[in-house]
């Protein structure tokens, strides 16, 4: 079949998704796939949830679209009320957008405008981390630390200083405790701030739990609190990106709750609407909104589809179902169940170096040798082979290469829907283990 869709890859043929059933998608041949990655950590309620679909239908019948420079809508107001009620301390407003990259772009501009409004226009630098992902638009790509994604576009990107990720498996020294390692990372950030000049830095940007680029990298205890204190000392904003790890994925509504840290700007997207509609948002601290109010009286930004009523209706329904059905408890319980199964099946595997993550957000890092943590030859594209072998077995997972530096390393990210059952988890882990072994068997003897 010829296609006129410019797909992500021009080399691979994709199956056609024709139907859905809870945690499963079905293709045109009738083959069923367990969605163990929620696409890319999106489908928190699985597929075809009747309550969300009913809410979308009702909203379309009422009012599908109204431009936000002319009107607000009840549904946008209700969703913002709900999000602020569940947000970290001091968050007073929500800026709606249509996805994660747009949320980051808006947050970067809010941070810059904040300092212009309060009379500190000399602040112009962002600091972010290597091995991060913040989206594919130019601003988001610039703060992102995925070398492979950035490389060919580098001449177009604003200069951003990147510091080390919090990557305990590879970077904590044997003579350090987790807390000491975290303190060392905070020192590195402090040095980067000093180098740029503290009065010139706008914000530090980080995923609370690293997602797509390095596979569920969790912050060590105390690290984010140290970052928060450092930012406060210099009047620098903390922008936490929870587009992937937020909205319940790690077992609390916001991942940063578990680190005892309150950001100035918090971006959310994927699990907000669960894939039923494109929606993202920036949760904003009151001091930033106050500065806009006292100053220019506006946030100088906007897109045609911000605050889209149908998208807001979907997100409101998703969030209501999560609360009504106690799904954050399910994430904690099933997340532990997933980790236990991974540990049992893969914990002693000669090519599994690390099993990490929080809640239903888990990473499996593959290594050629466990003792030395040597990675596989990147030309073998082990991650792509695992994805193909998993799809052949009716399993969707989210593998990536370049885990440690954009080139070397392979991992698999798992982010199943919050409604996943014990039986689903058994099948996910069995199929994943079989896919990993089949992919490894394809590699030449010298790896």
How far, in Å, CA of 60 to CA of 53, rounded?
11
Question: Helices (H), strands (E): how many in the chain?
Answer: 15, 15
| CB nearer ligand PLP, residue 208 or residue 427 | 208
Min CB(146)–ligand PLP separation in Å = 10
Q: In the structure encoding, which two tokens stand for residue 20, read together?
A: 């859905």
| CB nearer ligand PLP, residue 19 or residue 138 | 138
3-class SS of residue 257: helix
Provide the greatest CA pair distance for the chain.
67
Min CB(246)–ligand PLP separation in Å = 9
Residues found near ligand PLP in the complex (CB under 6 A): 40, 99-101, 104, 133-135, 207, 211-212, 241, 243-244, 269
How far, in Å, CA of 410 to CA of 381, rounded?
8
Min CB(51)–ligand PLP separation in Å = 23
| CB nearer ligand PLP, residue 224 or residue 243 | 243
3-class SS of residue 423: helix
Min CB(95)–ligand PLP separation in Å = 15
Neighbouring CB atoms inside 10 A of 446's CB total: 5
| CB nearer ligand PLP, residue 279 or residue 367 | 279
Min CB(97)–ligand PLP separation in Å = 9
Min CB(198)–ligand PLP separation in Å = 26
User: Nearest to ligand PLP by Cβ — which residue?
Assistant: 100
How far, in Å, CA of 352 to CA of 368, rounded?
8
| CB nearer ligand PLP, residue 258 or residue 427 | 258
3-class SS of residue 9: coil
| CB nearer ligand PLP, residue 107 or residue 420 | 107
Min CB(251)–ligand PLP separation in Å = 17
CA 141, 16, 389, 447: dihedral to nearest 10 degrees? -40
How far, in Å, CA of 84 to CA of 73, rounded?
17
Angle, CA 257 vertex, CA 22 and CA 37 arms, to 5°: 25
| CB nearer ligand PLP, residue 45 or residue 243 | 243
Angle, CA 271 vertex, CA 314 and CA 147 arms, to 5°: 135
């Amino acid at each position: 079949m010829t296609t006129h869709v410019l797909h992500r890859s021009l080399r691979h043929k994709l199956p056609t998704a024709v139907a859905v059933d809870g945690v499963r998608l079905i293709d045109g041949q009738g083959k069923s796939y367990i969605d163990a990655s929620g696409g890319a950590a999106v489908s928190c309620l699985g597929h075809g949830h009747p309550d969300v679909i009913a809410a979308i239908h009702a909203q379309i019948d009422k009012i599908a679209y109204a431009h936000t420079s002319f009107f607000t809508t009840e549904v946008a107001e209700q969703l913002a009320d709900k999000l602020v009620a569940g947000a970290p301390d001091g968050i007073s407003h929500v800026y709606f957008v249509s996805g994660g990259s747009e949320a980051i772009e808006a947050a970067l501009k809010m941070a810059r405008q904040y300092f212009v409004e309060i009379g500190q226009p000399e602040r112009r630098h962002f600091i972010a981390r290597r091995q991060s992902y913040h989206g594919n638009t130019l601003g988001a790509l610039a703060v992102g630390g995925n070398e492979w994604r950035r490389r060919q576009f580098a001449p177009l990107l604003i200069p951003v200083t990147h510091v080390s990720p919090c990557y305990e498996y590879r970077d904590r020294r044997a003579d350090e405790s987790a807390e000491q390692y975290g303190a060392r990372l905070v020192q590195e950030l402090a040095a980067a701030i000093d180098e740029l000049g503290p009065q010139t830095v706008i914000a530090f940007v980080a995923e609370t739990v690293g997602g797509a680029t390095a596979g569920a990298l969790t912050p060590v205890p105390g690290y984010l609190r140290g970052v928060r204190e450092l930012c406060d000392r210099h009047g620098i904003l903390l922008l936490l990106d929870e587009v992937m790890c937020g909205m319940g994925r790690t077992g609390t509504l916001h991942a940063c709750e578990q680190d005892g840290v309150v950001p100035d700007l918090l971006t959310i997207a994927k699990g907000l609407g669960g894939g039923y509609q494109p929606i993202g948002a920036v949760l904003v601290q009151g001091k930033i909104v106050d500065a806009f109010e006292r100053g220019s009286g506006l946030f100088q930004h906007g897109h045609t589809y911000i605050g889209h009523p149908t998208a807001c209706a979907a997100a409101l329904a998703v969030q209501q179902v999560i609360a009504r059905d106690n799904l954050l408890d399910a994430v904690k319980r099933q997340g532990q169940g997933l980790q236990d199964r991974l540990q049992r099946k893969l914990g002693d595997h000669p090519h599994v170096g690390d099993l990490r993550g929080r809640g239903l957000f888990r990473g499996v890092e593959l290594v050629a040798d466990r003792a030395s943590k040597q990675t596989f030859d990147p030309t073998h594209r082990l991650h792509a082979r695992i994805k193909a072998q998993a799809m052949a077995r009716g399993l969707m997972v989210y593998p990536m290469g370049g885990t440690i530096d954009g080139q070397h390393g392979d991992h698999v990210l798992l982010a199943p829907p919050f409604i996943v059952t014990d039986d689903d988890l058994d099948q996910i882990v069995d199929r994943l283990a079989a896919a990993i072994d089949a992919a490894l068997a394809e590699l030449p003897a010298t790896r």
